[in-house]
Amino acid sequence: MNRLLIAALFACLSLPVCAEGFITRLLNKPVPGGVAVVPLAEADTPARVRYQGKPVLTVREDDKRWIAIVGIPLTVKPGTEHIESDTGERLNFTVQPREYASQHITLRNQQQVNPDAARLKRIQRELEEQLEAYRQFSARQPSNLLFDRPVDGRLSSAFGLRRFFNGEERNPHSGLDFAVPTGTPIKAPAAGRVILVGDYFFNGKTVFVDHGQGLISMFCHLSAIDVKVGDEVVRGGHLGKVGATGRATGPHLHWNVSLNDARVDPAIFIGTFK
Ligand code: ZN
């Protein structure tokens, strides 16, 4: 079967009909914190594939072949990675290096840098709740993979920045920030189902939207949440309003995009990846 697959891939490479499709051109940014688009074998139904043991989004490109759209965690080192089908076949892809800049942030509230024991307990509980949301995998097909911007406004902090709060290194920036005023309405970048809302120590008022097959958006630091768990939202549907709740130095929208439980650069999905 592997040999057949390789033969099919070689045939593809030599035929113009198999040229890279629109989704591949748009989304294939195989770097740590990026996305790898991996073509699958010719079939009427997609192979079920996993990356690091987690189910992966598969879509049909240009009404032709199936492709796997794989989220690459920031912690993955450049080199050869692979996805694996349920039948045990491996498909390799190459992760290329990418440099991320550093950002230094000063917080007046020292509790937001080194929280005390009681707060750490709350933070841990909230973290678990959110990690569980990222692990969800529903059967629905995403309505669109080229996302609409959730707000109109200037992009501020980029994804992947190494962050130092009052000089102490913390987790890298897991999403993309938009500098927009408090009260700005937030629109769903694609259709989806609201799977979690909360008011968290670090993230403030937060909404999770499941777009399908492990493709999940998270919006945080909101001033108002206007949806509840279980709501179905249409593409462009209203989710809430921008604010500065949680660990935020001022009003902005923070947007995470997650694929197969890996936080990836949202800029890829709005065509602004550099
Ligand atoms: Zn942010």
Report pLDDT digits (tens) over 120-147: 999 999 999 999 999 999 999 999 999 9
User: Considering the entire predicted model, what is its pTM?
Assistant: 0.89
Enumerate the domain spans of the chain: 2-95, 102-268
Q: Is the pLDDT of residue 12 over 50?
A: no
Q: What is the pLDDT of residue 165?
A: 84
What is the distance in A from the centroid of ligand 1 to the CA of 217? 13
Task: Provide the residue type at 179 as one letter.
Answer: A
Centre of ligand 1 to C-alpha 191, Å, is 22
Q: How many Å lie between the centroid of ligand 1 and the Cα of residue 177?
A: 5
Provide CB contacts within 8 A for 38, sequence distance 6+. Answer: 49, 67, 68, 70, 83, 91, 93
Cα of 175 to ligand 1 centre, how many Å?
A: 6
Q: Residue 107 has what pLDDT?
A: 79
* Residue 69 alpha carbon to ligand 1 centre in Å: 24
Say if 2-95 and 102-268 have the same CATH topology.
Answer: no
Ligand 1 centroid, distance to 272 Cα (angstroms): 16
The two counts, helices (H) then strands (E), for the chain are 3, 20
Q: Does domain 2-95 have CATH number 2.60.40.1590?
A: yes
Query: Which residues make Cβ contacts (< 8 Å) with residue 147, sequence separation at least 6?
Result: 189, 190, 257, 266, 269, 270
Sheet with 54-55: list strands edge to edge: 54-55, 49-51, 79-85, 90-95
pLDDT in tens, 184-225: 999 999 999 999 999 999 999 999 999 999 999 999 999 999
What's the CA-to-centroid distance between 63 and ligand 1, angstroms? 36
Q: 79: CA distance to ligand 1 center in Å?
A: 28
Share of the chain above pLDDT 90, in %: 74
Which of 22-26, 94-98, 254-258 has the least mean pLDDT? 22-26
For 102-268, give the CATH class: mainly beta
